Amino acid sequence: MAVTIRDVAKEAGVSISTVSRALSSPNKVADATREAVESVVVRLGYRPNKNARGLITGRSGTIGLIIPDLENPYFGAVSKGVQERARAAGYSVYIGDFDEDPSIESTVVRSLAKQVDGIIMCSPRSTDVELGRLTSLVPTVLANRKFADVPSIVFDNGGMLRVLRHLTALGHTTIAYAGGPEQSWSHRHRSEAFQEFGEAHGTTELIELGSFPPNFGGGVQAADLALASGATAVVAYNDLIALGLLDRLRERGVSVPEQISIVGFDNVAVSTFVRPNLTTIDQPRKHMGRMAADLLLSILDADDAESTHIPRQLPVDLVVRQSTGEAPLSRRATGTTTAS
């Protein structure tokens, strides 16, 4: 049988109340007894029973992390950050993968809600109304999405702007955007920034190619549309789409970046494995996980809602590599003829 607080109390010659206090509120007990208790604790190898503690305090020392897909390194990085900070603060983390399925997301959140102190929802796919219900169940922090006044961590929305400035500086005047899933908050966000830039810079022609699955295949689809659009640069919703673009363009005999420039988002590891290396927006994903965890824990520990001191917005970085270059002189140099 495991060693309980009783064993420690008996061994140390004090009451169980004293042992409990010595461990959880050390200042309420005399130094001498505290030290005596502590030495017995280590000698016997006593570990408080989390269930018994949780039963009475109502706290579990656990947080839940809800993510769309563990297999996606993007979310793996976020999870790693969350996990790292939670462990440092003495919390354990339950993980809930919902396989990109909003209904599973609901189920998982509801089943976890009762057994954790708080939840981090990363890139939630639920509708606003469902999200409202879910976030009312238990203290929640959102990552990659803003909703009402639920605390959240998002990436700086300046990424798209930087990309477009980079491309116009290279002389591109016709730029296409290969978007991600309609229901993605990030996609909508980027699309807006894309449009806004167009309104502010009338000289640049901006073309939305539509929505594509956020994977390699989506990029392959988008490539032919991009080519037909006459754009000399294509911004992809994420690196995977950009990779698909790259591959299909090569297949069609279009050279990157000489004829078309390509930019991705995320800076996944593989963007340096391909040729040309991908110019992309680096999002500090692990750091997002860390901050989400910090924010949640500060909310849990503080009784008042004074946790606004933590910055909610993370800066992103443009990483220029080989896939972007000067705009070609002839705007439609993509065909079979080499001279105009």
Binding site for DNA (CB under 7 A): 1-2, 4-6, 13-18, 20-21, 23-25, 28-30, 32-33, 46, 48-49, 52-53, 55-57
Q: Name which of residues 193 to 222 contact its own copies (CB under 8 A).
A: 216
Pick 44 or 314: Cβ nearer DNA: 44
Binding status of residue 252 toward its own copies by CB under 8 A: no
φ, ψ of residue 34 in degrees (nearest 5): -55, -45
Cα–Cα dist 28/22, whole Å: 7
Contact partner at residue 32 from its own copies, DNA, none, CB < 5 to 8 Å by partner kind: DNA
The half-sphere exposure of 176 on its side-chain side, counting CA atoms within 13 A, is 23
- Binding test (CB under 8 A) with its own copies, winner from 89, 95, 170, 319: 95
**The two structure tokens encoding residue 118:** 């708080």
Could you report how far apart the first and last alpha carbons of the chain are, in Å? 86
- Report the alpha-carbon distance of residue 32 to residue 284 in Å, rounded: 48
- State how far the Cα of 170 lies from the Cα of 334, in Å rounded to an integer: 18
- Residue 37 or residue 281: which is nearer to DNA going by CB? 37
Q: Give burial (CB, 10 Å; 0-12/13-18/19+) of 114.
A: exposed
Residue of 288, 273, 298 lying closest to 82 (CA atoms): 288
Name which of 270 and 302 has its Cβ closer to DNA: 302
Indicate whether 72 belongs to the interface with its own copies (CB under 8 A).
yes
Q: In angstroms, what is the minimal distance from the CB of 196 to DNA? A: 51
Whole-number minimum distance, CB 322 to DNA, in Å?
Answer: 57
Residue 21's binding partner among its own copies, DNA, none (Cβ under 5 to 8 angstroms by kind) is: DNA
Cβ within 8 Å of residue 198, ≥6 positions away: 204, 205, 206
Q: Of 270-289, which residues contact its own copies (CB under 8 A)?
A: 270, 272-275, 286
Is residue 253 classed exposed, middle or buried when 0-12, 13-18 and 19+ CB atoms within 10 A define those classes?
Answer: exposed
- Residue 42 interacts with its own copies (CB under 8 A)? no
> Taking CB within 5 to 8 Å according to partner kind, which of DNA, its own copies, none is near residue 28?
DNA
Q: Is 76 in the site for its own copies (CB under 8 A)?
A: yes
Closest distance between its own copies and the C-beta of residue 29, in Å? Answer: 24
Q: What is the H or E stretch that residue 177 is in?
A: strand 174-179
Binding site for its own copies (CB under 8 A): 2, 47, 49-52, 54-55, 60, 62, 65, 69-73, 75-77, 79-80, 83-84, 87, 92-97, 99, 108, 112, 114-115, 216, 243-244, 247, 250, 269-270, 272-275, 286
